[in-house]
Amino acid sequence: MDEHQQPPLADKSSPETTFRSYNLQQGMDYAQYRRDYHPKLYKTIINYHRASLGQFGTILDIGCGPGRAVRTLAPLGTASPVTRWREAHPETADTEQDVVRVARRKIEQALYKTAVKKGVEMVCGEMSGVLLMLKKRPDVEWDWQAFQAARYME
C-alpha cells in the first residue's frame, strides 16, 4: 500500500444487522436508553492522553452511535472539567446514518461523518491530532489492521 492509497473497509458480510437497519426513531430510542461508559474509562483515556501527548487535537470516535463518548470528551460548555478538550474538534464516524443523525442533533459543534463506503480515507486524511478509539465492536465493519496501519502513514 503506497502513501496515497487508503485501506478498505472490511468485508460487508458481518453478521450484525440490527444497527444497520435502524430508522430515525429507533436511533433516538437507542440514544435515550443506551448506557454511557463508566467514568473510570473516561478518566483513564484522559489521563493517558495528558501523560503521553500533553495536548488534545481531533477526537475520532469510530462507531460513534448516538455520540455519547464525543459529548463527554469534547463538552461544549465553559463548565468543562477538562478545559483542554474544550477546543478539540470531535469527529465521529459510523455506518448507521440515522443513529448519527441523532448524534448530530446532540452536539452542534461536532463534525459528523457517516462512513458508508468511504472508509479510512475519509477520516484519516483529515485527522490533525489525537486519534481516539474507544471501542472495537464486532458489529463495526472496519478493517482494523488496515486502519491501524493507516494511522502511522505520513
Instruction: Dig out the grid coordinates for 144 from the structure.
Output: 482494523
Instruction: Please indicate, yes or no, if residue 6 is contained in any of the structural domains.
Output: no
pLDDT in tens, 30-77: 778 878 888 888 788 777 766 766 655 556 666 666 667 767 776 532
Residue 19: Cβ within 10 Å count: 19
Instruction: Please indicate, yes or no, if residue 71 is contained in any of the structural domains.
Output: yes
| Residue 42, domain CATH | 3.40.50.150
The pLDDT of residue 144: 55
Instruction: Please indicate, yes or no, if residue 132 is contained in any of the structural domains.
Output: yes
Cα separation, 13 vs 51, in Å, equals 39
Instruction: Please indicate, yes or no, if residue 4 is contained in any of the structural domains.
Output: no
Indicate the SS3 state at residue 93.
strand
Domains identified in the chain, total number: 1
Instruction: Please indicate, yes or no, if residue 5 is contained in any of the structural domains.
Output: no
Cα separation, 104 vs 101, in Å, equals 5
Instruction: Please indicate, yes or no, if residue 124 is contained in any of the structural domains.
Output: yes
Instruction: Please indicate, yes or no, if residue 11 is contained in any of the structural domains.
Output: no
Residue 77 is part of which domain span? 19-151
pTM over 0.95: no
93 pLDDT above the threshold of 70: no
127 pLDDT above the threshold of 70: no
